[in-house]
């Protein structure tokens, strides 16, 4: 098993890693399979993600997926960000080993959760 250079670069220097103190939306998912946890924080203005940060406990692929996801979502309208699929993440990373595809699912779900969290607050 080997990781692409893009995965390793993100693993070494993850983008947007950290916490947003008063985030507008927070999403957290875990993988019961291997015990990974991912948390995504978003700041929203005019239905756009103006800031995003993540925290992840997991393997190199999980960290790289979180990192690239935040890159892809930053500055995007919520509706577009919602549609970032696991396949998009895998493609952007220059592929993932088969056993690691589920790590991208985690990233996708954490963001979807954060957006849902924000939207449910706005409605109420």
Partner 1 sequence: MPKIYFDHSATTPLDQWVFEAMKPYFTKDYGNASSMHSFGQIAAKAIDQSRLSIAKFLNCLPEEVIFTSGATEADNIALQGIVKASKINNPHIVTTQIEHPAILEVCRDLEKQGVGVTYVPVTKKGIVKVNDIKRAIKPNTILISVMYVNNEVGTIQPISEIGKLVDQLNTKRKNRIYFHTDAVQAVNYCEMNVNKLGVDLLSISGHKIYGPKGVGVLYIKKNIKLKPIEYGGHHELGIRPGTYNVVGIVGLGRAIELVKVGKKNNQKIKKLRDYLIKEISKKIPNTKVNGDIKNRVASNVNFSFKNAEGESVMLMLDMEGFAVSTGSACSSGSLEPSHVLTSMQIPNDLAHGSLRITLGKQNTKNEVDRLIRILPKIIQRLRQMSPIK
Which residue numbers are catalytic? 34, 103
**Of the candidate residues 103, 107, 114, 115, the single one contacting ligand FES (CB under 6 A):** 103
Minimal distance, residue 86 CB to partner 1, in Å: 16
**Of the candidate residues 24, 36, 109, 113, the single one contacting partner 1 (CB under 8 A):** 36
Q: Are the CB atoms for 103 and 118 separated by under 8 Å?
A: no
Binding of residue 61 to ligand FES (CB under 6 A)? yes
**In the complex with ligand FES, which residue's Cβ is closer, 31 or 119?**
31
What angle is formed at CA 41 by the lines to CA 94 and CA 31, rounded to 5 degrees? 60
Give the Cα separation of 90 and 68 in Å (integer): 9
Minimal distance, residue 109 CB to ligand FES, in Å: 13
Binding of residue 50 to ligand FES (CB under 6 A)? no
User: Alpha-carbon Rg of the chain, whole angstroms?
Assistant: 13
Distances in Å between the Cα of 103 and the Cα atoms of 9, 18, 37, 60 are: 17, 19, 10, 9
Binding of residue 112 to partner 1 (CB under 8 A)? no
């Amino acid at each position: 098993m080997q990781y692409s250079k893009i995965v390793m670069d993100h693993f070494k220097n993850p983008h947007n890693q950290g916490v947003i103190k008063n985030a507008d939306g927070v999403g957290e998912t875990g993988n019961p399979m291997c015990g990974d946890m991912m948390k995504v924080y978003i700041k929203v203005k005019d239905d756009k993600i103006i800031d995003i940060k993540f925290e992840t406990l997991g393997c190199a692929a999980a960290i790289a997926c979180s990192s690239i996801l935040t890159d892809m979502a930053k500055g995007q309208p919520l509706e577009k960000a919602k549609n970032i699929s696991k396949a998009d993440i895998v493609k952007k990373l220059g592929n993932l080993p088969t056993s690691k595809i589920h790590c991208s699912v985690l990233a996708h779900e954490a963001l979807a959760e954060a957006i849902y969290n924000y939207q449910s607050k706005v409605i109420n």
